[in-house]
Structure 1
Amino acid sequence: MLIGIDVGGTTTDAVLIENGKVRSTAKVPTEPRNLLESLISALDAVSEGVSPGQLERVVFSTTVITNLIAEGKTDPVALLLVPGPGMNPAGYNFPDSFILKGAVDYRGREIQHLDEKEVRETAALIKEQGFSRAAVISKFGQRNPAHEKRVKGILEETVPGLKIELGHRTAGRLNFPRRVATTMLATAVKDRYREFVGEIRKALSERKIEAPVYILKADGGTLPLEKSAEVPVETIFSGPAASTIGALALTRDGESSVVVDIGGTTTDLALILSGEPLMASRGAKLDRFLTHIRAFAVRSIPVGGDSMVRVIVSENENSGEKKISVGPDRKGPAFCLGGPEPTPTDALRVLGISSIGDLNLAKEAIAGIASELGKTEIEVSELIVDKATEMIAAAVKEMFLEWEQEPAYRIWEVLQEKREDLRNVVGIGGGARGLISKVAEKLDAKPVIPNHAEVGNAIGAAVARPTLTLNLHVDTERKEYSVAEDGDVVKLHTTGIKNINKMRSEDAEALAAELLRKRAEHFGISEYAGEAETTRSEVFNMIRGWATVGRLFDVSMQIPAGLIPEWKREEQA
């Protein structure tokens, strides 16, 4: 048996899957101040009557990291940056930054010595200001981490007990500002996330659940619970990832669809192209910072079934026309469910589209607005639904402009002979059955509401398989290689390659495959290593004096997002 649990802004959904089919579902209110309680309540509800020994896999999709960042509850981090030449440090705009002298070039060769006196003075200042955490990031530090390691050593001497993260260990891909942002955020949330992991493990132990436990990541893959603590920021945006994988699981293999996940608080948008979720080429954006975190190309808009409905006066003061406004705030559940304000859910209940909540309460909620506008309850309900669905449809159209700029989308478009495949709009979430048909109508598309759409996110969490990426850089002249995700620089002679000077692309790809296999083994997902695929393989000859003196290889491999084999998708479509 498999369990998937997704924490949403309004409810926490859970699903129990047995023999590839949904056996039971559960929904409990989300407690924003106590996500653990919501997770465990949903777990208890969906597993009632099930022996712990029957459980084979438990997957959580959690907003704990997203909430910490959004609510400003992360720990302050002192950033020690070694940017080298080429950029104005003042333009980085990172908080609590200390700029240090020193530089290495793109191949990892030191071109400016670290100023150790300056480092010691900065360390003393950090101690004086009371920082308990620091992150050290040098430009091209992933090609030569010597400066980062030396700065760490001085910090440890000067500020005992300071918790330190290094950029080359956290985010080793090129693009210095994104590496800074990723390392900063990883450092800021790591301790709190580890506490969260410990609390989950304790709660599962009390319930005698010994099944493997996983956390869903932003790229739609899973990681074992304990291993996720090594890369906590990768668990951001797991909600939109869960809805995307849920739509993938609940629709036919190879289809292309716009995914519209309508919850109580927000609506999440994503895109599936020929059975492959579209990735954000620039990485996830957190707060105002772009990062190196792999994530689906998604957007969240503040419109949902519980969005507050109010009457506003048109911006044109001369007309004085009154209009319906939906969102962006949510004051609680729908009025028909005991909430304080009218919502789209109430309008759907009045129109008979939904059976959720008390009809009399829904009419009461809408009656006040109808009186103010001089319209009937039915007319007002239709206006509310039209407004909400128009906002969602407009966001989809706007999102398409961004999606079409993604390299993967452009490649897909070239390979497609037709565009009709994108006419499916798949509805996921509690508000899907009431609103998705009208959203699809405004997009001139076909609405698809699969079985169990209300808990599609939880299904996505339950059946998502692990993902893993590896980016390898090889420099044959320097006879060394580095893996962006690990940050270590290793000599090539340790790989067993016999003639380094004659290394070919096939050799680099074989090395990448072996390193990814070892990395998958470290994360406890080695059974999926055989499904890894090469997504990029480039070679550059280095010429000096009219002769080739070496080669640079860059290879990217991944275990892509997908579904575990236990899920019987054909029977769910």
Structure 2
Amino acid sequence: MFIGIDVGGTFTDAVLLDRGMIRATAKVVTRQDLLSSLLEALDCILHGVSPDLIERVVFSTTVITNLIAEKKYDPVGLIIIPGPGLSHDHYRFATPTHIISGAIDYRGREIIPLDLKQVERAVEQLEAAGYNKVAVVGKFSSRNNKHEKEIEKYIKLLHPQWQVELGHMVAGQLNFPRRIVSTMLTCATRDKYEFFVRSVFQALEQRGLKAEIYILRADGGTMRLKNSIRSPIETIFSGPAASTLGVQALLPPGETAVVVDIGGTTSDLALLLSGQPLLATRGVCIYNQLTHVRALAVKSVPVGGDTTLGRQESRIILQSGRQGPPFCLGGPAPTPTDALRVLGLFHRGDYDRACQAMYQLGDGLNLSCTEIAVRVADLVVDTIVQEINEMFKSWEQEPSYRVWEVLQKKKVRPTTVVGVGGGASGLIAQIASRMNCQPVLPPYASVANAIGAAVARPTLRVSLRADTQQGIYTIQEEGFQGKIEESNFNEEKAIALARTWLQRRAENAGLSGSLGEVEIIRREVFNVVRNWVTCGKIFDIGVQTQRGILHYVGGGGR
């Protein structure tokens, strides 16, 4: 039996799967005391089931997504070592940024020593501004982390309680701006993510569950929960990935559809092409800045059932963030869920309080309660449809989408919109109508995220770096360094070596039977030049076991 649990900003959903059949589902309120929410969800689905029967537990979460969408992450100071090259005017980030002299070259050699006086001034300024979290990133620190570690040592000597994140620990790939954003967001979200992980382990321990515990990555793959603490940003679109896999598992094989997951805090958008989720080839883009996080082509829109509503003169507007639950469920302010309650499209909560929320929102507009609710629903639908149309501009640039269009033999967009999540039943028909599409509300739509987590195929990664001039290669995940034996070592042999190590890791983890097709997630080659002559090559290769779902989900349940 498998358990899937999705921890959202509003609800925590859980499912128990037994050979592809849904045995039990649960939807509980996500409280600030996360442990109590997890225990309640587990108790609902494990009633009468021995914990020993559970083989695997997979989590997805919008914790990081919601923090970033609502800009509720911790403030972070930034110290970077860009070295020679671009003008420093190119390094503009929405946080105090201190640029330090020093340089490591692309082979990992120190060519300019670190200026510790500048480091000292930077730390003094960050302290004066009240910062205690710092992201430190050098341009080629993935080749040699000496400068990053020197800065960390200096900061910790003065401020041992400060949180310091180093770029080489967060992202091993090159592309300096992406590594800066990835490291900065990791620093900004780590504390809250560690709270999430601690709560999960406590809940499973208290209920006697000893199964393997995974969390869904943004690309639809999985990683062990205990390992995810090193890079919480990898889970940034874990929730949207879960809803996409959930829809994939609930629909017939080969379907093409836009996926709209309407939650309490955000609405997540994704795309299935001929039954497969569309992958973003450039990585996650946050506030128009690319990161090194590999992800499905999804977007989280900060609009959900619990979004606070407000007024600008005679206009009803969606305000930024979530103040709490809907007014009809005891919350502090009007929300779209209150409007759906008035319109009979949501069936929980106090109807009279929902009407009160609408009257409060429409004070002075001389509109009935129902008319105000219709305006709210139209506003939410228009906002989501606009975001979907904007996303199509990105989706249509993806190579997989272009291949799909060629196979259709004409330029065409999907004609099906699938709604999942707590708010889908009240809005998906209107969203599909505005797009001239067919609406689909699959069975178990309200817990599709948890289903997606439960059926996600376990995945493993291997990151190989080989330097033929030095004659050595390293495997990052294993902490292994070995000798390159072949004299004619090339890119294809580097990929083959990475695949061999992936096979070993899969066998050790008991996953060799479900290894599937190996996916190449990164392949970079750099010439080593000395005295104007190429004397070797550096290969940076990343491979991953096959992503996807283990099986489709049938009927059943109780």
Structure 1 and Structure 2 fold alike (TM over 0.5)? yes
Is 1:534 aligned to residue 494 of structure 2? no
The structure whose Rg is larger is 1
Is 1:504 aligned to residue 490 of structure 2? yes
Specify the alignment match of 2:438 in structure 1.
446
Is 1:398 aligned to residue 398 of structure 2? no
Stretches of structure 2 that go unaligned for 5 or more consecutive residues are: none
Deviation at 1:214, TM superposition (A): 1.9
Deviation string 1:130-164 (CA, Å, 9 cap, x unpaired) is: 98765543212223344445555666778778765
Q: d(CA) in 1 for partners of 2:469 and 2:184?
A: 33
Specify the alignment match of 2:85 in structure 1.
86
- What secondary structure is seen at the aligned counterpart in 2 of 1:557? strand
Q: d(CA) in 1 for partners of 2:131 and 2:492?
A: 47
The 3 A distance-change label for structure 1 pair 371 and 412 is same
Q: d(CA) in 1 for partners of 2:63 and 2:429?
A: 32
The 3 A distance-change label for structure 1 pair 524 and 141 is farther
- Aligned AA for 2:397? Q
Q: d(CA) in 2 for partners of 1:191 and 1:349?
A: 36
Q: d(CA) in 1 for partners of 2:321 and 2:282?
A: 29
Q: TM-score by structure 1 length? A: 0.81
Deviation at 1:456, TM superposition (A): 0.9
Specify the alignment match of 1:479 in structure 2.
471
Moved more, 288-297 or 325-334: 325-334
Deviation at 1:244, TM superposition (A): 1.7
Q: d(CA) in 1 for partners of 2:126 and 2:321?
A: 41
The 3 A distance-change label for structure 1 pair 505 and 283 is closer
The 3 A distance-change label for structure 1 pair 174 and 416 is farther
Deviation at 1:260, TM superposition (A): 0.5
The 3 A distance-change label for structure 1 pair 159 and 432 is closer
Residues 142 and 172, structure 1, Cα contact 8 Å, conserved in 2: yes
- What secondary structure is seen at the aligned counterpart in 2 of 1:395? helix
Residues 58 and 215, structure 2, Cα contact 8 Å, conserved in 1: yes
The 3 A distance-change label for structure 1 pair 74 and 138 is same
Deviation at 1:454, TM superposition (A): 0.9
Specify the alignment match of 1:102 in structure 2.
102
Specify the alignment match of 2:3 in structure 1.
3
Q: d(CA) in 2 for partners of 1:407 and 1:26?
A: 38
Residues 536 and 557, structure 1, Cα contact 8 Å, conserved in 2: yes
- Which aligned pairs between 1:59-208 and structure 2 lie closer than 5 A? 59-66=58-65, 72=72, 74=74, 76=76, 79-89=78-88, 91-93=90-92, 95=95, 97-110=97-110, 112-115=111-114, 118=117, 135-149=135-149, 165-190=165-190, 193-208=193-208
Number of aligned residue pairs: give it: 553
The 3 A distance-change label for structure 1 pair 328 and 552 is closer
- Which aligned pairs between 1:323-402 and structure 2 lie closer than 5 A? 323-325=315-317, 330=322, 332-339=324-331, 343-357=335-349, 362=354, 373-374=365-366, 379-402=371-394
Q: d(CA) in 2 for partners of 1:350 and 1:98?
A: 52
Q: d(CA) in 1 for partners of 2:554 and 2:44?
A: 27
Deviation at 1:222, TM superposition (A): 2.3
Is 1:568 aligned to residue 533 of structure 2? no
- What secondary structure is seen at the aligned counterpart in 2 of 1:511? helix
Q: d(CA) in 1 for partners of 2:192 and 2:327?
A: 36
- Which aligned pairs between 1:286-305 and structure 2 lie closer than 5 A? 286=286, 290-305=290-305
Residues 124 and 158, structure 1, Cα contact 8 Å, conserved in 2: no
- Aligned AA for 2:29? P
Deviation string 1:306-341 (CA, Å, 9 cap, x unpaired) is: 44556654xxxxxxxx45545556554445545555
Q: d(CA) in 2 for partners of 1:383 and 1:498?
A: 69
Specify the alignment match of 2:244 in structure 1.
244
Deviation at 1:414, TM superposition (A): 4.3
- What secondary structure is seen at the aligned counterpart in 2 of 1:422? coil
Q: TM-score by structure 2 length? A: 0.83
Specify the alignment match of 1:466 in structure 2.
458
Residues 136 and 151, structure 2, Cα contact 8 Å, conserved in 1: yes
- What secondary structure is seen at the aligned counterpart in 2 of 1:81? strand
Deviation at 1:207, TM superposition (A): 1.9
Residues 108 and 143, structure 1, Cα contact 8 Å, conserved in 2: yes
Q: d(CA) in 2 for partners of 1:538 and 1:388?
A: 43
Is 1:216 aligned to residue 200 of structure 2? no
Deviation at 1:272, TM superposition (A): 2.2
Q: What fraction of aligned residue pairs are identical, expressed as a percent? A: 48
Is 1:432 aligned to residue 424 of structure 2? yes
- Aligned AA for 1:513? R
Residues 127 and 159, structure 1, Cα contact 8 Å, conserved in 2: no
Moved more, 372-381 or 84-93: 372-381
Specify the alignment match of 2:56 in structure 1.
57
The 3 A distance-change label for structure 1 pair 370 and 171 is closer
Deviation string 1:261-311 (CA, Å, 9 cap, x unpaired) is: 112333111122233323333433456754212223322223333445566
The 3 A distance-change label for structure 1 pair 81 and 482 is farther
Q: d(CA) in 2 for partners of 1:481 and 1:391?
A: 50
Specify the alignment match of 2:38 in structure 1.
39
The 3 A distance-change label for structure 1 pair 220 and 354 is same
Q: d(CA) in 1 for partners of 2:221 and 2:235?
A: 10
Deviation at 1:47, TM superposition (A): 2.4
Residues 123 and 154, structure 1, Cα contact 8 Å, conserved in 2: no
- Aligned AA for 1:512? A
The 3 A distance-change label for structure 1 pair 243 and 419 is farther
- Aligned AA for 1:257? A
- Aligned AA for 1:222? T
Deviation string 1:343-386 (CA, Å, 9 cap, x unpaired) is: 44444445444544455655565567789555555555444433
- Aligned AA for 1:215? I
